[in-house]
Amino acid sequence: MNKEDKNRVCPVEASGGLDNSIRKFIQNPYKIVSPYISKDMTVLDFGCGPGFFTVEIAKLLSGSGKVIAADLQDGMLAKVRNKIKGTMLEQKIQLHKCEQDKIGVTEMVDFILAFYVIHEVPEKKKLFEQFKSILKPGGKILIIEPNFHVTKKSFAEMITTIESVGLKIIDTPKRLLSRCVVVGKI
């Protein structure tokens, strides 16, 4: 990772703040993702970090359901690997390292979670095109961005970009300290 990326992407060294009981109280992963998850889905946790949402998603899945935990940083994926090692969750979680400018997932997914990560992506249109290409018909994408990093104006611009690639806004749920949108294929 080059110096510019370190300024843009949350470093592995700071990941402790992404995975703790205080955050679980404020941003309860079960409450956030359970309305969108059903047992046999294939889910992409894009920018999974240390697996804060990945683990909860995996617990909601059964049958053939699985979660693809995708991140740009090997260190974040190692944290997820260590967290699930020796548990039943290992069977439900597939770790995937993204490339610098490409997700690299070719499997079709039912649901994509992008929590506090889109603002770190320089080429958002390209990312949304990739999301659209792997999203199954009827699939949904939940995008949640921190309002302390993402202004109303930049969030509105992001929504315009989402719509420009052929995705549609389904809902705009309210989340504490966040800007949120649910999108799907037209």
Per-residue model confidence (pLDDT) at position 16: 57
pLDDT band with cut points at 50, 70 and 90 for residue 2: very low
Residue 7: its pLDDT value, please?
Answer: 45
Rounded distance between C-alpha atoms, residue 168 and residue 153, angstroms: 19
Taking residues 96-104, report their average pLDDT: 95
Between 2 and 77, the more confident residue is 77
Band of the pLDDT at 26, cuts 50, 70, 90?
Answer: confident
| CA distances, 38 to each of 4, 31, 33, 173 (Å) | 38, 14, 10, 19
Would you state the pLDDT for residue 20? 60
What local confidence, expressed as pLDDT, does residue 66 receive? Answer: 97
Query: In the predicted model, what is the mean pLDDT of residues 138-156?
Result: 96
Residue ranges with strand state E in 54-177: 66-71, 93-97, 109-115, 135-146, 167-171
Instruction: Tally the domains of the chain.
Output: 1
Provide the whole-model pTM: 0.91
Q: What is the mean pLDDT of the chain?
A: 90
**In the predicted structure, residue 10 carries a pLDDT above the cut 90:** no
Residue 12 belongs to domain with CATH number: 3.40.50.150
In 118-137, which positions are buried (b, 16+ CB within 10 angstroms) versus exposed (e)? beebeebeebbebbbebbee
Is pLDDT above 70 for 98?
A: yes
pLDDT level of residue 168 (50, 70, 90 thresholds): very high
Q: Identify the pLDDT of residue 18.
A: 63
Instruction: Give Dmax over CA atoms of the chain in angstroms.
Output: 45
Residue 117: CB partners within 8 Å, gap ≥ 6?
46, 47
Residue 5 in this model has a pLDDT that exceeds 60: no
Query: Going by C-beta distance under 8 Å and a sequence separation of 6 or more, which residues neighbour residue 180?
Result: 142, 143, 144, 145, 172, 173, 174
Task: Quote the domain boundaries for residue 90.
Answer: 3-185
pLDDT value for 115: 95
